[in-house]
Structure 1
Amino acid sequence: MRYEDIPNVNAWKVDAYSLHQFPIDPIVVNIDDMLTKYYQAFSPMAKRNLLADLEKSCLAWKPPKPGNAAMDALLEVVKRRLAYSSGSIGHVYDNVVCVSYSVKTGEFVPGTDVVVYRGKLDDEQDMQQRVNNMKTAFNQARNFVPNPARDDSKTLKIFMAPEFYFRGRYGAYPPEIVAQILPLLRGGGNGSDSPVFKDWLFIFGTAISASIDARHHCYTCKSAQHIVFKRDPLDRSKTIVECSKGATHDVQEGIFGATIDNVALIQKGKQDYLVAKEYMSGIDFRDPGSGAYVKMMNAGVRKKFEPIATEGSVVSRFASKFDDERMGGGVFNIDGITFGMEICLDHEENKLAGVGNLQILLIPSAGMDIKRVRTISNGVTFNVDGGRANAHVYVSSVPGVWKTARSFALSGVLGNIEIFDSLMIPYI
């Protein structure tokens, strides 16, 4: 038998009927779960993550387990879809070189808890200057990587900057400025999608974004819990807002606060990916000592707003749509390699504790070091910290090994480049 595309879970259960007789093997239970999630996934990366784990589960079905035509067909279509989504067949890379942009982003003014700020006062000018500095850093970094690794198409070069690299004078950029960062980094003759960087994976640190959160509130009930939207009886193309406790209640729109996103900016070639930090910390804003707020423009005036964590964050008032990191969270698959990402406090709080099959774990941070191993045997954990302006690489062999780096001074911009020796990428 042959599947033209990934089967839905119901079709799979019919085709693999003999495998679904009690007691059901845990491998089959896991496959059922992933097929269900595959058709819930809305991003290409989430689907690719699930395909990568489906392949591992299908490959684990081997003697003395009984042969099954549906299992063989599922493995074949998964491999076919993986090759299509990544544009390649088999392992693209054998080795990895970790390249750190070690620069301080979490430095405090002496005697205070205010984060040092060295950027421009205008948000857009500040962002553009940081983009230019980042380009300078990764172009010089390429020259520092020794051959044969620099030009070896089987060696993946991972360039990573620390947490908080992109944030403005007032603690956060508006979303429209954050949206410009990756296109600007990629563009121009010295951009990250230049052919000389085809074997580079970039993590450009994190960017802090804040957007005004306006919502309706019933001033009669002093609550927003009973707000409903109804068709306007006088104009069916419009809606009206009411309180379900009373049509005459005083309902008005007000500003609740500023929704905060702290996202890692990931890019390889034409692919972009974002990973959001889930655990908010005090230094996510530049000036926590003067009150928990972020400054933003509203109606032409810069005002203070209470920060609100983004949807899915642990302290958010909005629950995440998924509890599986593969569905758009901290796990992503690029070129057949399964990566995990924990941004600073996420690592401390065990964000990826239940995730398996990680080959490389990335930790951009500002005040964090490597505390625990998440990867498979011989996996690589790479941390770049903006509090100390340094980097660490740990290999989860037996016993584990801390790797050393060579440091190179950058010309024209702050910080150093640290380059670790080439390491083999473990595959299951």
Structure 2
Amino acid sequence: MPYTSAQCIGYQVNTFPALAMGTTYGKKYLGGTKAQPDIRGRCHIMREAIKTAAADPAVRKSSSILKIFMAPEFYFHDINGAYPIEDVSLIMETLRVFTRQAQFKDWLFVFGTAIAYLDTGSDKEVFNIAMVQRGGTDELGPEASLIVYKEFISHVDFIRLPTYETTKNCFNCGAPNHVFTEGFEGWKRTTFRSALVGKPTDTMSVLRPTEGSRDTLTRREEAVGPGREQTKTGLGGQGAFTMAGIHFGLEVCLDHARSRLRSSPPKGGEFYPQIHLIPSGGMSIMEPSIACQQWGLVFNVDATHTALTRNTSFYRTPVAEHHVGVLPGPVTVGSYPPAKAIALNLAGTAPKWNSYFNDQGIINIFQALKIPKAEAHKQ
């Protein structure tokens, strides 16, 4: 039976570094000292969050409603800020043992992102990987399991020396934002693209984006254009895919601000996203970057907030259904209110949660919304 509606469920948990007063950097990454035990600990907490959501009566049981559970950016990393890249596959393998249960056959999961690195000797290639998995199945193909790479590294993604930073308010959400003293342009200078990632844990490394990115210091840049974001194998990191019969677009944080999906729209005959997903760690929905068809859903789960709205206009000229503020003052994208917000209590099931996160998190359950009929791009 095809899905006619989607119910969005956000696991909003603070995945940012913790303060470390009196230390050289003033912050520290939370997590275990070894990658694989850290992954298992975070997977356990993810399972507890999913179980809490699934057991709540606010979650609709209808088989015509696709339940979309999403966590924020930076959910998976250890005390070094990133895992060795070879350890990341353990995450999906571990969670699949749980999500393959029949009770999750009408669920789709976005497990936030995993941060990883490849040490080249002179620098570190950074991977920020969103992981998407369909519930109720053991299948491994792109219809059931895939990854999306983040393309752009933000100046706030990793811990840096305080001398590189000054505090300003974020132009997007108004929260304190750390930028190089020369402003946002400073981050584009190759000599300042350094941060704490991996080992050694007390020395900043030069950071390179994932190969194929258009970001500074990329080793190889992939072309953009119609059809370039459509995934084929589920392993290439593209942001447009079809799962559970629904067409999705996914951007991680800064990629959304840079309008990554809109830079590579569907080519003739391909479908526009019906649902636009944005896991983030310091980003809100940005109206000009919305990349879904008319009445498509736009769902953002951040470390500090969760938002759900719809595109009331066409793909080419997106207009969010909800706004905050009144012109001529600042106007930002608003949200449907959650039907229910559950403060997660991990005291009895994961008492060491504070080894991984700054808080236990909130489960935001939204009302089910109709999924618009799929619309193909016409040349």
TM normalised by structure 1 equals 0.62
The Cα shift of 1:350 comes to 0.9
Listed one character per residue, the Cα deviations across residues 249-279 of structure 1 (whole Å, up to 9, x for unaligned) are: xxxxxx2322111010111133211000011
- Report whether the alignment pairs 1:384 with 2:284: no
Distance across 2 between alignment mates of 1:95 and 1:143: 20
Are the aligned partners of 2:80 and 2:199 in contact in 1 as well (CA < 8 Å)?
Answer: no
Match of 2:52 among 129, 140, 152: 140
Partner of 1:394: 309
Partner of 2:207: 307
Partner of 2:362: 416
Partner of 1:403: 336
Listed one character per residue, the Cα deviations across residues 99-158 of structure 1 (whole Å, up to 9, x for unaligned) are: 0001001255288975553322232222211111111111111112526x2x21111000
Distance across 2 between alignment mates of 1:185 and 1:313: 28
Q: Tell me whether 374-383 or 399-408 shows the greater mean CA deviation.
A: 399-408
One-letter amino acid of the structure 1 residue matched with residue 7 of structure 2: V
Once the two structures are superposed, the pairs formed by residues 79-98 of structure 1 within 5 Å of their partners are 92-98=2-8
Distance across 2 between alignment mates of 1:346 and 1:136: 29
Partner of 1:332: 241
Are the aligned partners of 1:201 and 1:266 in contact in 2 as well (CA < 8 Å)?
Answer: yes
One-letter amino acid of the structure 2 residue matched with residue 307 of structure 1: L
CA gap 1:279/1:295 in 2 versus in 1, 3 angstroms = closer
Partner of 1:6: none
Listed one character per residue, the Cα deviations across residues 53-101 of structure 1 (whole Å, up to 9, x for unaligned) are: xxxxxxxxxxxxxxxxxxxxxxxxxxxxxxxxxxxxxx72001000000
CA gap 1:176/1:365 in 2 versus in 1, 3 angstroms = same
Distance across 1 between alignment mates of 2:101 and 2:159: 34
Listed one character per residue, the Cα deviations across residues 365-400 of structure 1 (whole Å, up to 9, x for unaligned) are: 0111011232111110000011x2x20001123671
Are the aligned partners of 1:258 and 1:294 in contact in 2 as well (CA < 8 Å)?
Answer: no
Listed one character per residue, the Cα deviations across residues 178-221 of structure 1 (whole Å, up to 9, x for unaligned) are: 1101111111xxx11111111111000000111122xxxxxxxx
CA gap 1:419/1:176 in 2 versus in 1, 3 angstroms = same
- Report whether the alignment pairs 1:261 with 2:261: no
Match of 1:375 among 285, 292, 302: 292
Once the two structures are superposed, the pairs formed by residues 29-428 of structure 1 within 5 Å of their partners are 92-106=2-16, 109=19, 117-146=29-58, 149=60, 151-187=61-97, 191-213=98-120, 255-268=121-134, 269=137, 270=139, 271-287=144-160, 289=162, 292-296=194-198, 305-315=205-215, 316-320=218-222, 323=225, 324-327=228-231, 328=236, 329-354=238-263, 355-356=265-266, 357-372=272-287, 373-386=290-303, 388=304, 390-397=305-312, 400-401=321-322, 402-405=335-338, 406-412=340-346, 414-427=360-373, 428=375
As a proportion of its length, which structure holds more helix?
1
Distance across 2 between alignment mates of 1:212 and 1:182: 23
Q: Tell me whether 409-418 or 134-143 shows the greater mean CA deviation.
A: 409-418
One-letter amino acid of the structure 1 residue matched with residue 283 of structure 2: M
Distance across 1 between alignment mates of 2:279 and 2:77: 15
Listed one character per residue, the Cα deviations across residues 201-252 of structure 1 (whole Å, up to 9, x for unaligned) are: 1000000111122xxxxxxxxxxxxxxxxxxxxxxxxxxxxxxxxxxxxxxx
Are the aligned partners of 1:145 and 1:419 in contact in 2 as well (CA < 8 Å)?
Answer: no
Partner SS state of residue 375, structure 1 = coil
Q: Tell me whether 135-144 or 404-413 shows the greater mean CA deviation.
A: 404-413
Distance across 2 between alignment mates of 1:113 and 1:192: 39
Are the aligned partners of 1:296 and 1:303 in contact in 2 as well (CA < 8 Å)?
Answer: no
Distance across 2 between alignment mates of 1:206 and 1:351: 17
- Computed over aligned residues only, the root mean square deviation of the Cα atoms, in angstroms, reads 2.5
TM normalised by structure 2 equals 0.70
Partner SS state of residue 262, structure 2 = coil
Are the aligned partners of 1:174 and 1:210 in contact in 2 as well (CA < 8 Å)?
Answer: yes
Partner SS state of residue 181, structure 1 = helix
Are the aligned partners of 2:32 and 2:38 in contact in 1 as well (CA < 8 Å)?
Answer: yes
Distance across 1 between alignment mates of 2:58 and 2:242: 27
Partner SS state of residue 352, structure 1 = helix
Which consecutive residues of structure 1, in runs of 5 or more, have no partner in the other structure? 1-90, 214-254
Which consecutive residues of structure 2, in runs of 5 or more, have no partner in the other structure? 165-193, 267-271, 314-319, 323-334, 347-352, 354-359
One-letter amino acid of the structure 1 residue matched with residue 214 of structure 2: V
Residue correspondences, number: 288
Are the aligned partners of 2:129 and 2:148 in contact in 1 as well (CA < 8 Å)?
Answer: yes
